[in-house]
Amino acid sequence: MKTIVWDVDDVLNDLMHSWFNNGWLPGHPDCTIDYSDIVENPPHRIIGVSLEEYQKSLDAFRFAEAAKLKPIPEVHSWFIRYGSCCRHIVLTAVPLSAADISSAWVFKHFGPWIRSFNIIPSLRTGNVIPVYDKTKKDFLERWGKADILVEDNQVIIDAAHHLGIATVLIPRPWNKSEENIVSALEYLIGLVI
């Protein structure tokens, strides 16, 4: 049975899209960009703020609204139909202060399939915590059990390829995918069946 490693934000849910439309834009009515213009992640340069200001805004939205996020319908449907044919774990970059929110969300919506929740803490100013794995690549290399990675970050996809892990890039404005969510998940089906 193959093991699929899933990112959470922007793969299982639409955090960036929700934050931008419901968290950023209401407080910044002079912002003239659209979600499709967010061609970098993190998008602080595009929205014209410091990384720290972006992170504070995203974190505030995550604490207030993340529990209300819905799964991406196509992804949730994929799990219902094909989830039992593989093992599933999460590997996400999230601030340590929000790991409980993220894990609760994952197990609420994907608990029948996902059995392991792993994080690479996304560092915040003033946080002093032990660092075990600095990147997702470090985790995947040390863990050594991933067959497939589903991710929205091209750099992490490239790192997984280097480790010999099959990958599925979930299309987002900040990556180079020319697919759509349906075709990306159809490709995943071909990797597991």
pLDDT level of residue 107 (50, 70, 90 thresholds): very high
Phi and psi at residue 43, to the nearest 5°: -95, 20
Mean pLDDT of 88-101: 96
Query: Which pTM does this prediction carry?
Result: 0.96
Q: How many CB atoms lie within 10 A of CB 114?
A: 21
How far the first Cα of the chain sits from its last, in Å, is 10
Residue 127 has pLDDT above 90, yes or no: no
Query: What is the CATH code of the structural domain delimited by 3-14+70-192?
Result: 3.40.50.1000
Question: Which token pair is 183?
Answer: 């075709």
Residue with tokens 């819905």: 70
For the segment 34-71, what is each residue's pLDDT rounded down to a tens digit?
999 999 999 999 999 999 999 999 999 999 999 899 99
DSSP 132: S
Enumerate residues 6+ apart whose C-beta is below 8 A from 73: none
**Cα 176 from Cα 53, distance rounded (Å):** 26
Residue with tokens 């939205």: 61
Which segments of 81-164 are extended strands (E)? 87-94, 114-121, 148-151
Per-domain residue ranges for the chain? 3-14+70-192, 16-68
At 184 the pLDDT is: 98
For the segment 163-177, what is each residue's pLDDT rounded down to a tens digit?
999 999 999 999 989
**Cα 4 from Cα 166, distance rounded (Å):** 9
Biggest alpha carbon–alpha carbon distance for the chain: 51
Mean pLDDT of 73-77: 98
Strands in 114-121's sheet, in edge-to-edge order, are 114-121, 87-94, 3-6, 148-151, 166-169
At 125 the pLDDT is: 83
CA dihedral (87, 93, 94, 96) positive or negative: positive
At 131 the pLDDT is: 84
Enumerate residues 6+ apart whose C-beta is below 8 A from 98: 59, 62, 63, 66
